Structure 1
């Protein structure tokens, strides 16, 4: 797993709760991540590249959890990557 995370990275021990968006800063949904996987994204890093997640992130303000979305992206990727 890559160490690429946003500047306000969270404590990865926190429970993952997916809301309206997985990445609130760039309005990336779980369906966007599923689409990226279905279109050939084979790594979390590729999903981030394809969806635009985590670009210009300000998670502490935009994410209702007040934390980085990286662990949520990983969770959704693992959930749907078969």
Structure 2
């Protein structure tokens, strides 16, 4: 498995019209993984504890564990692995 993809659906695809910049407005208790109820803050904590890729964040938080239901549960119509990757990239800068 690619370390920047999830195990449930290998990343998924966004719904048309979704803006990638919407991830940048996430904060605190905002949900990132709708399937497992994982928040932005939980992902930030995992990164602070040493998670450096999507797989490590998923192991630390429980994100990306559903059986491919991302498209129906996430209002963005895609897997949260894309958002987690963006959060990881933002935390590097």
What interval of TM-score do these two structures reach, taking the shorter chain for normalisation?
0.7 to 0.9
TM-score normalised by L of structure 1: 0.77
> Over residues 12-61 of structure 1, what are the superposed CA-to-partner deviations in whole Å (9 max), with x where a residue is unaligned?
xx532235311111111111111001112122211111011011141122
TM-score normalised by L of structure 2: 0.70
Aligned length: 81
Structure 2 runs not aligned, ≥5 long = none
Q: For the aligned residues, what is the CA RMSD?
A: 2.5
> Over residues 53-76 of structure 1, what are the superposed CA-to-partner deviations in whole Å (9 max), with x where a residue is unaligned?
011141122101111111111001
Structure 1 runs of 4+ off > 6 angstroms?
none
Residue 27 and residue 80 in structure 1: after superposition, are their counterparts in 2 closer, same or farther (change >3 A)?
same
Greater fraction strand: 2
Cα pair 1:23 1:54 within 8 Å, conserved: yes
Structure 1 runs not aligned, ≥5 long = none
